Amino acid sequence: MKLLKISENLGQFLDANGDYSPIDKIGKDDLLRLVDRTLHDDEVELDAYDDQAIKNQAHQVIYKSVFQKLSDLRKRRQEFIDESARLFLDEYERYRT
């Protein structure tokens, strides 16, 4: 699923309803959701930042920052999965039974 997309010279993000909203409307909860999906979804796409493709200056600033954050996070996905699987693993196994 594409989380960030550049369309019609605007930066857009996948909102809670599954639609694409302009990136300057992004809020805290949207960010959290995008972070979750970046780490958990098997298939994630992000349109690379391109200052030529985005004309709106405000969109450029926001899109660039969010894109960088999410793509960095995506690169660490396996590390995250491994690390979280091991969280309190001994205790988890011990108390589960």
Q: Which residues bind other proteins (CB under 8 A)?
A: 24, 26-28, 31-32, 35-36, 39, 57-62, 65-66, 68-70, 72-73, 76, 79-80, 82-84, 86-88, 90-92, 94-96
35 or 47: whose CB is closer to other proteins? 35
| Crossing angle between the packed helical segments 57-75 and 28-40, to the nearest 10 degrees | 40
45 or 51: whose CB is closer to other proteins? 51
16 or 96: whose CB is closer to other proteins? 96
Helix (H) or strand (E) holding 45: strand 45-46
Provide the minimum distance between the beta carbon of 52 and other proteins in the complex, in angstroms, as a whole number. Answer: 16
Side-chain half-sphere of 11: how many Cα atoms within 13 Å?
26
Classify 42 as helix, strand or coil.
Answer: coil
